C-alpha cells in the first residue's frame, strides 16, 4: 500500500523512520518550517516545569535519535541552561547543549563579549542563584574572550552568528580565543552559536579538555536548523521526499487523493497527518463572522477530518467557529487539533492517522511528537495488513 506522510517535523520524520524500520518506504510531503524547526534544543515528554520525568525511553526512540544524529537522550533527567537564565531538567537535548550535570560542583565560565542578545554577568547571576546550582555548589561566572571579529556580529541573528562558525578558520579562531583568554574553568557555556553544520561544541570540548556547550536556542535558532539539516539527510535515505504545499485531501474509493500545489493529484491508501498545530500553521486561527468578536480554528488544508477542542468535536467539517478565548483561555491554542481515536486514527476516516501537534489535546513537546509519530506509523501498518 502507498503511504503518504504530510509534514516532516519530528512527528513526520519519526513516522517515516518507523515505516522504514518495518520494511516500508513512505512518501513524505512537507513545505515550510514548523514548530520542530523552531524548538529550543531541549527534549521533553511533558512541559518541563510540570513533568515527572519518569517516562521510559522506548527502543525505537533511541534508534531514531541515533540515526538522526542530532540528539543525546538521557535515562534520567539532566539539567541544561536556557537562554532566558533558567536551569531546567530535560530528558534529552541537541548534542551542542552543555550537560550541566557533568559540571556539578565545578566552575562554569560563561563567555562574555558584546552581543545585543547576551548578558553574561546577568546570566551568571541567574544560573548561580538557581536551586540546582545552590544545592550542588556549582559556580557560574562571566569570562571575557575575544569572540567577535566584525562589528555587525553583535546584532545579527543567533542563527547567522552560529552559521559563521561553520567555517574552519572561524572555528579555529574561537578555539584560540578560549585558549588565550587566561581563564581557568571546568566548563565553558556559550549562547546557541556553535555552528549549524559543524559539531563545534564537541570539537572545542576535545581541544580544551573540558566540556564546552550552549544554552537552549530561541525560536528560529541553531537547534532547529541543526535538526532540519540532519532530518533532511535521514529522510533522503529512508523515504521519498517532496517539497510542496498540501491543498486538499479527498476520499477516493478505499483511499485518498492528495492535491499538492504544482503537482498532479496522487492517490494513496494511507495518509499520516503530521501537519502541526497552531504554532506550525497546520491549524489556522481566523476571525469568525458567526458571532461578533468571535474567532475560530480551521485546518490549513481541506480534508474530511474533524477538529476537536476540550472534547468538543465538530463532526464532518474541519473548522471550529466562534471560540471564546475569555471562557476557554489562551491554552486553547495548545489544545486544538484533529480528533482521533486512541490508536491515532482520525474519527470516521479509515486510513487517515494523525501525529504530533496535529492531535487534539496532546502535550506540544518534542519527545511526545516522536512517540506519536511511531504510534501513527504502527497503526497505519496494522491497518494496511488488515486491509490486505
In a domain, residue 275? The reply is yes
Q: Decide which of 386 and 131 is more confident.
A: 131
For the record, the C-alpha cell of 189 comes out as 557555556
Per the structure, the complete domain to which residue 288 belongs is given by 3-37+227-387
Given this model, what pLDDT does residue 216 score?
Answer: 98
Q: Would you say residue 89 has pLDDT above 60? A: yes
pLDDT tens string 170-207: 999 999 999 999 999 999 999 999 999 999 999 999 99
In a domain, residue 221? The reply is no
Mean pLDDT, rounded, for 242-263: 93
In a domain, residue 312? The reply is yes
Please give the tally of structural domains in the chain. Answer: 2
Given this model, what pLDDT does residue 211 score?
Answer: 98
Given this model, what pLDDT does residue 82 score?
Answer: 98
Mean pLDDT, rounded, for 147-167: 95
Residue 316: band (very low, low, confident or very high) from pLDDT cuts 50, 70, 90: very low
Instruction: Please state, in angstroms and rounded to a whole number, the distance separating the CA atoms of residues 121 and 217.
Output: 19
Are residues 188 and 132 part of one domain? yes
Burial label, 218 (beta-carbon count in 10 A; 0-12, 13-18, 19+): buried
pLDDT tens string 279-296: 888 888 776 544 444 567
Given this model, what pLDDT does residue 291 score?
Answer: 47
Are residues 134 and 159 part of one domain? yes
Mean pLDDT, rounded, for 227-236: 97
Could you tell me which of 274, 315, 314 has the C-alpha nearest to residue 323?
314
Given this model, what pLDDT does residue 292 score?
Answer: 47
Domain boundary (191, 216, 241) is at: 216
Kindly report the average pLDDT of the chain as a whole number.
Answer: 91
Judged by average pLDDT, the poorest of 88-102, 253-267, 319-333 is 319-333
Domain boundary (216, 240, 256) is at: 216
Are residues 241 and 204 part of one domain? no
In a domain, residue 99? The reply is yes
In a domain, residue 178? The reply is yes
Q: Would you say residue 315 has pLDDT above 50? A: no
In a domain, residue 76? The reply is yes
Are residues 371 and 300 part of one domain? yes
Say if residues 358 and 346 touch (Cβ distance below 8 Å).
no
Instruction: Please state, in angstroms and rounded to a whole number, the distance separating the CA atoms of residues 273 and 353.
Output: 6
Are residues 201 and 68 part of one domain? yes
Are residues 381 and 291 part of one domain? yes
Judged by average pLDDT, the poorest of 102-111, 214-223, 242-251, 334-343 is 334-343
Q: Decide which of 314 and 347 is more confident.
A: 347
Are residues 313 and 203 part of one domain? no
Q: Would you say residue 108 has pLDDT above 80? A: yes
Are residues 202 and 340 part of one domain? no
Are residues 269 and 123 part of one domain? no
Say if residues 48 and 42 touch (Cβ distance below 8 Å).
yes
Find the CATH number of the domain harbouring 15. 3.50.50.60
Are residues 134 and 76 part of one domain? yes
Are residues 278 and 202 part of one domain? no
In a domain, residue 58? The reply is yes
Percent above pLDDT 70 for the chain: 92
In a domain, residue 63? The reply is yes
Amino acid at each position: 500500500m502507498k503511504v503518504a506522510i504530510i509534514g516532516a517535523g519530528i512527528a513526520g520524520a519519526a513516522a517515516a523512520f518507523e515505516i522504514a524500520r518495518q520494511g516500508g518506504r513512505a512518501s513524505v510531503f512537507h513545505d515550510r518550517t514548523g514548530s520542530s524547526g523552531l524548538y529550543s534544543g531541549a527534549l521533553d515528554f511533558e512541559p518541563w516545569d510540570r513533568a515527572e520525568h519518569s517516562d521510559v525511553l522506548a527502543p525505537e526512540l533511541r534508534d531514531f535519535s541515533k540515526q538522526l544524529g542530532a540528539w543525546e537522550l538521557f535515562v534520567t533527567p539532566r539539567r541544561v541552561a536556557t537562554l532566558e537564565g533558567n536551569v531546567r531538567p530535560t530528558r534529552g537535548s541537541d548534542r551542542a547543549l552543555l550537560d550541566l550535570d557533568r559540571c556539578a560542583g565545578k566552575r562554569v565560565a560563561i563567555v562574555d563579549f558584546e552581543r545585543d542578545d547576551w548578558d553574561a554577568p546577568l546570566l551568571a547571576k541567574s544560573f548561580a542563584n538557581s536551586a540546582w546550582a545552590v544545592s550542588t555548589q556549582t559556580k557560574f561566572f562571566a569570562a571575557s574572550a575575544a569572540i567577535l571579529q566584525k562589528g555587525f556580529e553583535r546584532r545579527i541573528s543567533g542563527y547567522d552568528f552560529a552559521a559563521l562558525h561553520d567555517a574552519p578558520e572561524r572555528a579555529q579562531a574561537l578555539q584560540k580565543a578560549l585558549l588565550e583568554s587566561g581563564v581557568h574553568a571546568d566548563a565553558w557555556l556559550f549562547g546557541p552559536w556553535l555552528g549549524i553544520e559543524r559539531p563545534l561544541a564537541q570539537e572545542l570540548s576535545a581541544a580544551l579538555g573540558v566540556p564546552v556547550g550552549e544554552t537552549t536556542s530561541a525560536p528560529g535558532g541553531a537547534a532547529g536548523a541543526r535538526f532540519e539539516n540532519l532530518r533532511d539527510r535521514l529522510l533522503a535515505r529512508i523515504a521519498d521526499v517532496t517539497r510542496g504545499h498540501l491543498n486538499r485531501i479527498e476520499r477516493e474509493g478505499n483511499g485518498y487523493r492528495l492535491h499538492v500545489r504544482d503537482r498532479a493529484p496522487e492517490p494513496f491508501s494511507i495518509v499520516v497527518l503530521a501537519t502541526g498545530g497552531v504554532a506550525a500553521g497546520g491549524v489556522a486561527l481566523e476571525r469568525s463572522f458567526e458571532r461578533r468578536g468571535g474567532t475560530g480554528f480551521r485546518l490549513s488544508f481541506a480534508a474530511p477530518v474533524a477538529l476537536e477542542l476540550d472534547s468538543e468535536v465538530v463532526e464532518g467539517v474541519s473548522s471550529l467557529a466562534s471560540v471564546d478565548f475569555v471562557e476557554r483561555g489562551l491554552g486553547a491554542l495548545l489544545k486544538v487539533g484533529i480528533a482521533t481515536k486512541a490508536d491515532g486514527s482520525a474519527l470516521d476516516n479509515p486510513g487517515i492517522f494523525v501525529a504530533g501537534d496535529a492531535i487534539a489535546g496532546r502535550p506540544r513537546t518534542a519527545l511526545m511528537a516522536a512517540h506519536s509519530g511511531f504510534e501513527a506509523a504502527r497503526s497505519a501498518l496494522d491497518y494496511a495488513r488488515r486491509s490486505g
